[in-house]
Amino acid sequence: MEILVYIIIGAAIFILSLLVGINIGNKRVISTLKTKKEELEVEIKNKQKEIDKILKKAEEEAKALKQKELLEAKEEIHKLRQQFDLEAKQQREELKTNEERLIRKEESLSKKEENLEKLKEKLEAQHENVQKLEKELETKLNEIAKMTEEEARQIVINEARDKYEREIAQKFKEIKDYYEEESKKYARWVITTAIQRYASDVTSEITTSTVSLPTDDMKGRIIGREGRNIRTFEKLTGADLIIDDTPEIVVVSSFNPLRREIAKRTLEMLVADGRIHPARIEELYEKSKNEIQEYIKEVGKEAVMRVGIKQPHLEIIKLLGRLKFRTSYGQDVLEHSIEVAQFAGMMASELGLNVELAKRAALFHDLGKAVDHEVEGSHAIVGGQIAKRYGEKLEVVNAIQYHHNEVDPMTPEAVLVAASDALSASRPGARKETLENYIRRIEQLEEIAKSFRYVDKAYAIQAGRELRIIVQPDKVEDEIAEKLAHDISVQIEEKVQYPGVIKVTVIREKRSVAYAS
């Protein structure tokens, strides 16, 4: 029993000594940690001071660099201003030279008119002398030959005609040839001056547009599960989506610039939104169409402002905006119309004609092309009818309809509009005939497809190598769809000239939609 007590007392003493040792060790560790913390705080303060010095030095360097760039910009502006003043001075000198040349021309023409008046007076005096000679001869002939008065008069007239007719005709031809040559020179001078004063960049339309993607993963979302997204997109827009290995790029292809622009905007909205599914595609497609309508209106107003004429009817402005998405031989029809208006205005100014009338008729001359796919008839005649419907003057209507010589001109301004149109079209680089032929072939393919019954929509895609036809699913069964594809392909072979092979695809798709509220 006593041994057990000793053992317990010894164990208690051992435990107490162990606890005391642990407490002393903890105090030492805590003391060491405090010392380390203080050293770290000192080091952090030193580092902060170094960072403050570096930041201050960077601010001073940035300020110096900014001042240097400002000085360089001021020097560049001064140089540009000097260059502008020099060019303006040269233009003023050229205008002064041209003005002096015109004054000399006017003086020369005045002198020639005076000479013509003198010649006219001389011819009238000669005519009077001839009449006197006729009377004298008539009297003598009556006395000598005892002729009647009428016979004597006829003999005198014949002799006078033989004697003076050749001389008068020759003089008339000389005067006519001279003034014809002068008028040709003046016309060439007016046209050359107009061309020199007008400078325009020519941009030919292409059939594709590119849309940038944030990542290549977006291509899979655009295609959708089993291709449902891309099928919906192409069906709605009538444009073809080309998704290849090009990184972060999708190509929108369509021969119709309006369709291509709507499709491009729709795709850009979808990419920005990130939610890509058939319902969202339809929603953003409608939104893009509405935005394009507003854009068309703004483009029309801008064209009127660029030409500098009085505001026409709002419907005419809208039709002008639609010409932005119409091409003629690869040339933007709206830009072409503005160019024709500028040419016509310059030439009318040089000739002293009505500049407002010439510009107005020239800007509206291709108005019929905005609706030529909806209305039968020549675009010149249709454009004149549209202008008349919306309150344009008869002179403007006549100039529009005359520019392809389909009616007689009423005013000199109408002739200027036709000349300006030909001038714009023939200017080197303005048009590309190959693109126009391609677009005409594409349009012909779609028109052939739409001429068949039960065809709802038709789109030529893949640069005209494929024709996709959407039919009414309630009225066309599978067997009829196959027959329809065959019939359309036969019509294309008979009526269209094309390289390679054209694939005709008939699509019948029925949708059942319900809404739970």
Query: Using one digit for the tens of pLDDT, what is the confidence trace for 226-283?
Result: 888 888 888 888 888 888 777 888 888 877 778 888 888 888 888 888 888 888 888 8
Provide the pLDDT for residue 346: 84
Provide the pLDDT for residue 252: 87
User: For residue range 131-164, what is the model confidence (pLDDT) as tens digits?
Assistant: 777 777 767 656 655 556 676 677 767 766 656 5
The answer, as to whether pTM is greater than 0.75, is: no
Dist CA 402 CA 498 (whole Å): 34
Structure tokens, 157 = 């007239």
Residues 460-478, mean pLDDT to the nearest whole number: 81
pLDDT over 60 (residue 195): no
pLDDT band at 202 (very low <50, low <70, confident <90, very high): very low
Residues 105-117, mean pLDDT to the nearest whole number: 79
pLDDT over 80 (residue 287): yes
What is the pairing mode between strands 466-471 and 503-507? Answer: parallel
Provide the pLDDT for residue 426: 63
Q: Are 300 and 317 in contact (CB under 8 A)?
A: yes
Return the percentage of the chain with pLDDT > 70, whole number. 79
Burial letters for 118-141: b for 16+ Cβ neighbours within 10 Å, e otherwise? eeeeeeeeeeeebeeebeebbeeb
Dist CA 448 CA 98 (whole Å): 56
Residues 477-492, mean pLDDT to the nearest whole number: 83
DSSP 19-75: HHHHHHHHHHHHHHHHHHHHHHHHHHHHHHHHHHHHHHHHHHHHHHHHHHHHHHHHH
Q: Are 449 and 487 in contact (CB under 8 A)?
A: no
Return the percentage of the chain with pLDDT > 90, whole number. 1
pLDDT over 50 (residue 34): yes
Closest C-alpha among 337, 313, 354 to residue 403 = 337
pLDDT over 80 (residue 86): yes
Lowest mean pLDDT among 9-18, 97-106, 378-387, 481-490: 9-18
Provide the pLDDT for residue 398: 92
Provide the pLDDT for residue 2: 67
Provide the pLDDT for residue 204: 47
Dist CA 284 CA 268 (whole Å): 10
Burial letters for 9-38: b for 16+ Cβ neighbours within 10 Å, e otherwise? eeeeeeeeeeeeeeeeeeeeeeeeeeeeee
End-to-end CA distance of the chain: 91
**Cα 84 to Cα 78, 96, 97, 196, 199, distances in angstroms:** 10, 18, 20, 19, 18
Dist CA 272 CA 284 (whole Å): 11
User: Residue 456: exposed, middle, or buried by beta-carbon count in 10 A (0-12, 13-18, 19+)?
Assistant: middle
Dist CA 431 CA 324 (whole Å): 15
Dist CA 299 CA 53 (whole Å): 56
Provide the pLDDT for residue 168: 59
Structure tokens, 272 = 């920005």
Amino acid letter at 28?
R
Element (H or E) spanning 328, and its range?
strand 327-328
Q: Are 430 and 424 in contact (CB under 8 A)?
A: yes
Residues 305-330, mean pLDDT to the nearest whole number: 84
| Mean of per-residue pLDDT scores for the chain | 79
Provide the pLDDT for residue 433: 46
Residues 25-50, mean pLDDT to the nearest whole number: 76
- Cα 61 to its chain centre, rounded Å, is 48
Structure tokens, 395 = 């002179």
Burial letters for 198-231: b for 16+ Cβ neighbours within 10 Å, e otherwise? beeebeebebebebebeeeebbebbbbeeeebbb
Dist CA 413 CA 360 (whole Å): 10
pLDDT band at 374 (very low <50, low <70, confident <90, very high): low
Dist CA 505 CA 507 (whole Å): 6
Highest averaged pLDDT of the listed ranges 149-163, 360-374, 417-431: 360-374
Scanning the structure block, which residue is given the tokens 């560790």? 29
Residues 174-180, mean pLDDT to the nearest whole number: 62
pLDDT over 70 (residue 396): yes
Structure tokens, 154 = 């006829």
Q: Are 366 and 337 in contact (CB under 8 A)?
A: yes
- Cα 292 to its chain centre, rounded Å, is 14
Of 171 and 121, the one with more pLDDT: 121
Lowest mean pLDDT among 31-35, 40-44, 232-236: 31-35
Dump strand ranges (E) for 329-452.
Answer: 331-332
Q: Are 193 and 345 in contact (CB under 8 A)?
A: no
Lowest mean pLDDT among 26-40, 41-55, 436-450, 460-474: 26-40
Q: At what angle do helices 355-363 and 333-351 cross, to 10 degrees?
A: 160
- Other CB atoms within a 10 A radius of the CB of residue 386 amount to 22
